[in-house]
Structure formats: structure tokens, C-alpha cells
Amino acid sequence: MPSSQKTSKNKSKGEPAKKAPKLPPQADLPTSYAEKQGSGGETHQTTGDASATLTTQQGHPVADDQNSLRAGPRGPTLLEDFILREKIFHFDHERIPERVVHARGYGARGVFELTDSLSDYTTADVLSKKGQQTETFVRFSTVAGRAGSFDLARDVRGFAVKFYTNQGNWDLVGNNIPVFFIQDAIKFPDLVHAVKEEPDRAFPQAQSAHDNFWDFASLMPEAWHMIMWQMSDRTIPRSFRTMEGFGVHSFRLVNAAGESTFVKFHWKPRQGLQSVLWNEAVKINGADPDYHRRDLWESIESGDFPVWDLGVQLFDQDTADALPFDHLDATKLIPEEDVPVRLIGTLTLNSNVDNFFAETEQVAFCTQNVPPGIDFSDDPLLHGRNFSYLDTQLKRLGSPNFTHIPVNAPRCPVRHFQQDGHMAMVNPKGRANYEPNSWGPEGGPRENPAIGFRSFPAGVAGEKSRIRSETFADHYSQARMFYRSQLPIEQKHIADALVFELSKCVRVDIRARSVSHLRHIDEELAAKVADGLGMALPDPAQAAKPTLDLPTSEALSIIANGPDSFKGRKVGILLTDGSNAGLFAGLTSALEAEGAVWEVIAPKIGGVVLDDGAAVAGSQKIDGGPSVFYDAVAIVPSEEGAAMLADDAPTKDFASDAFAHCKFIGYNEAALAIFGSARIPADLDDGFIALASAGDVKAFVKTCRLLRYWQREQGVDFDKAPDRKRKERK
């Protein structure tokens, strides 16, 4: 038995006690070693010098390199032992493809600044030193589509952040939705197989509107909270900049005293929340499948850096026990009204990548990458993710040395005995490639229990079994809470999405089985969807537990959490030869003062000549710059220009789409001819703002802060059109 192996004082009945082996006298060991014999029979080779501390490949200091993490002294080795897995993983591959999920992604560099210290809760340096700045890399992505798919698929968005901390890389690998479809990682391959293209025909691509997905979902009651999120506008965001991010799982923070606090991580966009309409998304994908990529690139290039606040929900075991659900269930969230989100730092994306492949494509995230002071809860989905990601990197990047790639390399010192393998760029020097060894200071790094990673000693009890906890059995209460927390227009969009998706299912029984779950969420929703599908309302699905009427949460609504300005948004200004120069100057000046962006749409890309003789270049040709690209539009042609464009199909689409998508529309008198040909109702609603003076321009920009004139769509809901306030066309 090696001299450094731990032994336990515990023994099973009937077995003789085993004595810890005696070490040779201290004088026989190299002087850099220190012997530590603890009350549990612990023995380590240690060093007090942090510069010689043994680390993982991610740069995390190692406290114990002699023993794997087990459930009890004689219990099974635990899946979450990332130090063990990395060490064996690398050894297994010492001798010498597109991502399966999240293939389509886009990344940027940034910086995280801590504004509120959590040093009372954690020893993690990145969360302890107020004012400290940490380099980051962020990758946004869709989940189901391939690398060549389009940006605005109805899909979950990945929101993965790599922090290059002083204690090793921390990967917060999250989504723009705080819950997930499944509770146990063993179902992840089934989920992904079901949602991706059907294997016999290889379509549909990057969408869930097909029989396989809804067959799976209708047989998995636990998925229906996530289904509500997926069918909401959360899955068609306006941009990466206008969506939230979530760590999804409960993690632990561990402080210097060894005390644990549960934590959930939230990213809150300073830009406010915003999404697009489904019809709008379809048209954007056709006109610019790189819409989200282009938006992020251009905002960073222009210096309008996207910013998110990092928030945490901190709670103890007593709070967890008092919740009406299990916080270890990844299909559940903790409402912010129950456990408030404490903002502790800011993430600013301030630099685009130099090379997409080298950085965005090769960046490797692993949920297991956590520095000392951050630890895992017993969420079974999280444990499965910890197992999976490392193998994924080997498949994709071809070598256990993926941490040698600059975008993945820790920024802190890395010292270990892992060697060789394909594409090894950095290896330890010297004779010793193992430990313990007796080569003295030249023998390489040593364990450092003082600063190394230690798992929180959470109690483990019970028989090993394959069983789902009864505390995970309430599948509909939070789905109901989410749906009822939406504003009426958002509820309409969920119903519309469900009807559209299920209408693509050929099998009637799959449609019926899906609607049967909706009856536990909201009877009116179930009735609307059944009516939209032209089917009778089916009996409710069998529920494992009664559905609770939980309080609603305003934090779950996109519209209720929109921006307080029009900053960072884009306006399309349709001009022709002879357009009013004063109006154009006033409009662009007001938009720039708001921090908004504008583009000129012209009959020809060469631009137009205004009524004062000034030439203005076009940003887009009218048939290449549809109104779906913009958050609001201003249509201000000359009379001659309007007469010319009134019969132009792209121009009519520009106006009619802006109207149909509830955009705010600024206009002059000449634009009325275009509205008439586009069949926009003559009695213009309050979403139209006449632009005749400087005061009108300011009112237009101020009104645009609301982003949409939702009353326009609510007037054409499923059954009846309520009265809408109109104003007379001038």
C-alpha cells in the first residue's frame, strides 16, 4: 500500500482493523515534504508554497491527489469527482467533429467585475474581491440545429461563460431559460434524439415542430414546465443582448469555515428583455440567417458593449426544505419573490474574436470546472453533465490536451504530471512524471490542502437504486405558474406556438396526448389549442400529484421586464429622392441622443438626394432591408418617391410587415399613399406617429421605448376583436 494512501478508522463488523502504514522517518523524505497525520489517519505530501501547488489542467489547486471521492469510507466512488475523471481521462489518451448540441454558436470576449463580495459565503477568489476584474469568454448558441442552421429558430439558447480566474477556469454553462426538459441526465440522449431531425429523413432541421419531439414530450410529464418556456417568446429572442441567462442548477458556495450555502446564478441584461414575433422570425431567417451574430458583432464593434448583471439566489437547507418543490429538480425554478436575486457583479462583452474557429468553435466548456469555494449540489442532471462534457471535448477537439488551446487555457499557473497525448503543446519538465516521488524540489508540484479544492462533506445515506425521488413528482404546478405569470399577449403567443407546432404532427394521437397535459396547466389554454387544431378536448393526462395554484411571478414575463429606453435598438428610415432634409436630420439626431442606431433604406443602394441637395448613402436597398430587421421604422418619402414606391412589392411588404408585427411607425403625409397600397387600415392606430415637426420626432423616439404597440395584435385574437382606440389619418 503506498505510504500516502488514506485509511479510515471505520471498519465493518467481523473485519479486523487495518493499521495505517508507518512512514519512514522525516529525515528520509525530501526536505520539501511535510508530513501530516490527521485524526482520520490522513497522510499527505504537502507544500506551503502556493507557487508549487499541484493543480488540475484547468488550474484548480488540488487538496488531495491520493484518494478518489467516495460515498463513505468504503462506499462507491462518486461521479462528481472531476479530479479523478480528468486524471484518468488524460491517462487513457496519452497514446495516440461538430458539436452534437449547441453546434451553432457565436462568441465574444469580455470582463467580469465583482461589485459585491460574497467572501462570507465562498472562498472563490472571483466572487470574493470587490472590484476585481476577471477575463471571460462567452458563447451563445442554439441547441437543436447544426452549425449551418439559422439564428432565429424557436429553440433554447445556450449562455455559457468561461471565467479565467486566479484559481482556475470556472465554466458557468447555462441557458436563457432557468429550467430544463428532464430531471435525470440518463434521458438527455433521448431528448436530443427526439428534438433533432428525424433519422430516416434528416428533417426538419433546427425545430421541434414534428412528431418525434411531441411524441417524446407527451410521454414525459416532467417536460411540461419547460414546454411552456419553449413555446413562449423566450425562444425567439430579439438578440443575444436582450435575453437572460441562468445556471439552471443549484450549486453550493463553501466558505473558509467549511459552511455551505446553496446558490442559483442569474444573468440580467442591462439592455432589457426583448423578443420577436414568430412570423417575424421566419422572415428574418430568410432575409438574414446570421441576424443574431451580426447584431452582437456590430454592437461590440460600435462600442455599444452589451452588459449583464450577475445575480445570485442564496438559500440554506431550511429554506430549501420549506419550498413546495425540490430545488434539486432541474425542471423547477425558485421564484424571485421567494428568494430575491442579489446582484453582485457585471459582465461586459467588449471584444470580438480574432478568428471564429480558433476561439468560438474550439472553446470547450465543462460544468465540472469550478474553483475552490464553488461546489455541486446533488442535482442528478448536473451530475450527468459533469460526466458528459469532458468526453465531449475529446470527441470534438481530438485530444485530451484541449486545455492547451489558447481560448481554453487557464490564465493562472498550471502544474501537474499529466503528459503526452495528441497535440501536446506544454508538458512538465524534469525527470519526475508521477507522485508521490522523492526527488525533492525538482520533483514537481505537491498537494496543497490549505488552498486546494475540497468537496463539501454532505451526508450521504440510503441504498443504491434507480428511482426518482417523490419530491420530483409535481410536474404541472410551475408550468401553471409560468403561464399565468405572462401578460395576455404573451399567453396568446404561447397558444399560437402550440397550435403551430402540434399542427405539424401527422399523428392525431400525439396531438391529443399533448393537449391532455395542457388541461393541468390552464383549461382555457387547452381549449384554445384544441380549437386551433380542430379537435375535441381530450381527457386530462394522469398526474402524479395535484397541481398547485402557486403565486404568479412578474419576473417571468418578458414584456414586464423590457428596457427603459430605446438605447441599442435600430430604426429603419425609408427615404427617396426629395425627402425632407430637416426631418431626416432631426430624426437621426434624436435617435443618436437616445443611443439608438439607424439605417437608411433607399430604392437603390447608392442612396438618395434630399430636398436640400445633400446626398445620403443607402444602408440597405428596399428589397434587401425588410422592416423585420428593425425595432421601429420611419417612412418619410417625398410625394414623387411615394408615388413611385406605392406599386413596389418590397415597399408594400416593408410597410405591411411593420404594421403586422406591431412596430411603431413614424410617417409623413406622403407615406399615406404607400399605406393605402399596402392595405393598412385607413384609421391609423396609436402605433403610428405623424412626423411633421421636431416635437413629433422626440415623441416618436420616446414612444419607441415601448418597443411594440401590442394592442394591434390583441385586436385580432382567436375569437373576437375587442374595440381598439383609433386616431384619424391626417
The answer to whether the beta carbons of residues 62 and 55 sit under 8 Å apart is yes
- In the sheet where 632-635 sits, what is the strand order? 620-621, 597-602, 570-574, 632-635, 664-667, 688-690
Interatomic CA distance for residues 712 and 489, integer angstroms: 10
Query: What pLDDT was estimated at residue 27?
Result: 33
Q: Cα–Cα distance between 700 and 662 in angstroms, integer?
A: 15
Greater confidence, 240 or 40?
A: 240
Catalytic position from the list 44, 60, 102, 327:
102
What is the pLDDT confidence band of residue 472, given thresholds at 50, 70 and 90? very high
d(CA 145, CA 465): 35
CA distances from 321 to 318, 329, 474 (A): 5, 13, 15
- pLDDT surpassing 60 at residue 18: no
Least confident of 141-145, 608-612, 693-697: 693-697
Per residue in 546-565, pLDDT tens?
999 999 999 999 999 999 99
Backbone phi, psi, residue 509, to 5°? -65, -30
25 vs 323, which has greater pLDDT?
323
pLDDT of the residue at 45: 52
The three cell numbers locating residue 9: 478508522
pLDDT value at 328 more than 80: yes
Which grid cell sits at 475? Answer: 410536474
Residue 406 has pLDDT above 80, yes or no: yes
Ranking 296-310, 543-557, 707-721 by mean pLDDT, the lowest is 707-721
Q: Active site residue: 44, 90, 169, 175, which one?
A: 175
Residue 315 pLDDT > 70, yes or no?
Answer: yes
Answer yes or no: 102 catalytic: yes
**In this model, does residue 13 exceed pLDDT 70?**
no
How much is the pTM? Answer: 0.88
Asked if pLDDT for residue 119 goes beyond 70, the answer is: yes
Query: Kind of pairing, strands 105-114 and 133-142?
Result: antiparallel
H helix runs in 522-557, sequence order? 523-533
Q: What is the CA radius of gyration of the chain?
A: 29
In the residue annotation, 401 being an active-site residue is answered as no
* % of the chain with per-residue pLDDT over 90: 78
pLDDT at 527 over 70: yes
Cell of 424: 501536446
Share of the chain above pLDDT 70, in %: 90
Domains in the chain with CATH codes: 1-94+414-455 (4.10.91.20), 105-208+236-399 (2.40.180.10), 474-560 (1.20.1370.20), 567-714 (3.40.50.880)
H or E element in which residue 621 lies: strand 620-621
Separation in Å, CA 347 to CA 177, 209, 270, 314? 18, 35, 10, 20
Q: How many residues does the chain have?
A: 730
Give the mean pLDDT of 528-556.
97
In this structure, what are the phi and psi dihedrals at residue 497, rounded to the nearest 5 degrees? -65, -40
Does residue 727 carry a pLDDT above 60? no
Over residues 385-402, the pLDDT tens digits come to 998 888 888 888 989 999
Q: Please tell me the distance from the alpha carbon of residue 551 to that of residue 143, in angstroms, as a whole number.
A: 31
**Separation between Cα atoms, residue 420 and residue 401, nearest integer Å:** 8
Least confident of 83-87, 467-471, 600-604, 698-702: 83-87
Distance (Å, rounded) from C-alpha 365 to C-alpha 403?
10
pLDDT at residue 420 above 70? yes
Higher pLDDT, 486 or 695: 486
**Best mean pLDDT range from 16-30, 234-248, 433-447:** 234-248
Mean pLDDT throughout 678-706? 95
**CA pair distance 53, 47, nearest whole angstrom:** 7
The overall average pLDDT reported for the chain is: 90
| Amino acid identity for residue 59 in this structure | G
Q: What is the reported pLDDT for 519?
A: 98
Among candidates 344, 290, 319, which has minimal Cα distance to 106?
290
The residues, any chain, with a CB within 8 Å of residue 67's CB and separated by 6 or more, are 5, 6
Residue 612: pLDDT over 90: yes
Look at 99-113, 386-400, 574-588, 661-675 and tell me which has the smallest mean pLDDT.
386-400
pLDDT at 90: 79
Q: Are 234 and 243 in contact (CB under 8 A)?
A: yes
33 has pLDDT over 80? no
pLDDT tens figures, 639-676: 999 999 999 999 999 999 999 999 999 999 999 999 99
Position 533 scores a pLDDT of 98
Check: CB of residue 575 under 8 Å from CB of residue 638: no
Residue-level pLDDT at 77: 78
Q: Is the pLDDT of residue 624 over 90?
A: yes
pLDDT confidence bin for 75, thresholds 50/70/90 = confident
Q: pLDDT digit string (tens) for 189-202?
A: 999 999 999 999 99
Confidence of residue 41 (pLDDT cuts 50, 70, 90): very low
CA distance linking residue 349 with residue 463, whole number of Å = 47
Which among 215, 224, 220 has a CA at the least distance from the CA of 184?
220
SS3 state at 688: strand
From residue 265, give the alpha-carbon distance in Å to each of 82, 109, 262.
Answer: 21, 20, 10
**156 in Cβ contact with 142 (< 8 Å):** yes
The pLDDT, as a whole number, for residue 686 is 96
Any idea which residue has 411633421 for its cell?
A: 692
Q: Which residues does residue 262 pair with via DSSP β-bridges, in sequence order?
A: 252, 315
